[in-house]
Structure 1
Amino acid sequence: MSKQLIRRYWDCANARDWDGFAATLHPEVEYRVPQTRERIRGIADYVAFNAGYPGDWTLEVVRLLTDGDEAVSEIAFHVEQQTLNGICFFTIQDGLIRRIDDWWPEPYEAPPRAVATERY
């Protein structure tokens, strides 16, 4: 059930189906971005945050893992001729998404290492 819920969440976001998106969320949903220390609470504000995101973007689910009332997804977020990788940790309560911790790793050059590493 968790896997279908998270897939629906991303499918609705990608389709800009904000009513369907809202239907995946718990009334007390909490969204957090740890890097920027931003937090949004409640369905209306969270939907508005996503609906107002600038640019002509699309996303695709790269990986989705679920375990009971927890899930994690990796997405490829395509916007303005670049692709960003996002990782979301979901907590599910009463069959709806209650909390989202959204991580957006930025690419960077690896520093010199004392041990041999392999690049891929």
Structure 2
Amino acid sequence: MIEKIQMQLYWKYIAQQNADQILAFFHEDGVIRWHCSNEQFTVHEFIKANCEYPGKWNGEMERMEQIGDQIITATHIWSDEVSCHVVSFFQIEQGKIKQLDEYWGDDGEIPEWRLKMKIGRPIITGSGSSL
């Protein structure tokens, strides 16, 4: 069983782009899929894509659920230029990530058509804290 603190550390290392620490979380033959862009990566390709992405990043894991050997997280990742939320499905084997399926979405403004309806309200006001 993976503890919440371990997943918080995982997301901290992702935001810090710390390749060595990220690698320690994965099975050697792990598979990572980014469904929104239809991409599949080996562990080393995933680490390269993550760690060579430009900019300084922050992150905050907002939620974690565990069902058997599957962990689901909802995380906010942001820089000075970009803010995203990601829902991640981790398949764990022997305490390491064997498969990771992620769905990334850019944060944005409320569409004008919905503003005109005058419905809803902000979930969170202000900015999040970093890991």
TM-score range, shorter chain: 0.7 to 0.9
RMSD (Å) for aligned C-alpha atoms: 2.3
CA distance in 1 between partners of 2:17 and 2:84 (Å): 19
Where does residue 97 of structure 1 map in the other structure? 97
CA positional deviation for 1:71: 0.7
Tell me the TM-score normalised to structure 2 length: 0.74
Match of 1:30 in 2: 31
Q: Deviations over 1:30-67 (max 9, x none)?
A: 111111101102x3222111111122211111111112
User: Quick one: structure 1 residues 82 and 49, their matched pair in 2 at CA, closer, same or farther if it must change by over 3 Å?
Assistant: closer
Aligned counterparts of 1:85 and 1:110: Cα–Cα separation in 2:
21
Structure 2 gaps, min length 5: 122-131
Matched AA of 2:34: V
* Structure 1 pair 63–81 and aligned structure 2 pair: CA distance change class (3 A): same
User: Which residue is 2:87 aligned to?
Assistant: 87
Cα–Cα, structure 1 residues 81 and 46, in superposed 2: closer, same or farther, change >3 Å? closer
What's 1:63 paired with? 63
More helix by share: 2
Work out the percentage of aligned pairs sharing the same amino acid: 21
Any unmatched runs of 5+ in structure 1?
none
The count of corresponding residues between Structure 1 and Structure 2 is: 116
Is the Cα–Cα contact under 8 Å of residues 16 and 56 in structure 2 kept in the other structure?
Answer: no
